Amino acid sequence: MITIVLNFFFSFNFFISPKRIKVNYLINPQMSMETIQKPCANCKFRAQYDKNPKSLIGRFWRWHINFCPGWKGYMSSLSEEERQAMREKYNLKK
């Protein structure tokens, strides 16, 4: 019984991270890495920041992207024009 509950908990993506994306890719090798959408593209925290940058969750998201490897991977997957637009929109240094 405990094993079933733990398997359900760990198979359900409560926290999506780049590590979990790689694990999902290994489980389903028919999917290419290009078809997997980055979680940063539709992040709820990012949407909250866009709606109200001074909210607690919005400020947390802005602080978090300074060191998040997932955000860095997402930014590197964008074209140069999209990256520049993101830098201007979110006032990023790099």
Same domain, 22 and 68: no
29 and 46 fall within a common domain: no
Q: Which domain holds residue 76?
A: 38-94
Confidence of residue 25 (pLDDT cuts 50, 70, 90): very low
Q: Alpha carbon of 23 to those of 2, 13, 44, 83: distances in Å? A: 22, 11, 22, 27
Task: Give the number of other CB atoms < 10 A from CB of residue 78.
Answer: 15
Domain shared by 28 and 1, yes or no: yes
Same domain, 43 and 23: no
Span 24-48, average pLDDT: 69
Q: Does one domain contain both 45 and 24?
A: no
Percent of the chain with pLDDT over 90: 52
32 band by pLDDT with thresholds 50, 70 and 90: low
**The pTM is what?**
0.60
Average pLDDT for 6-34: 48
Query: Do 81 and 42 have their domain in common?
Result: yes
DSSP assigned state of 94 = -
Same domain as 29, residue 6: yes
Q: Please give the tally of structural domains in the chain.
A: 2
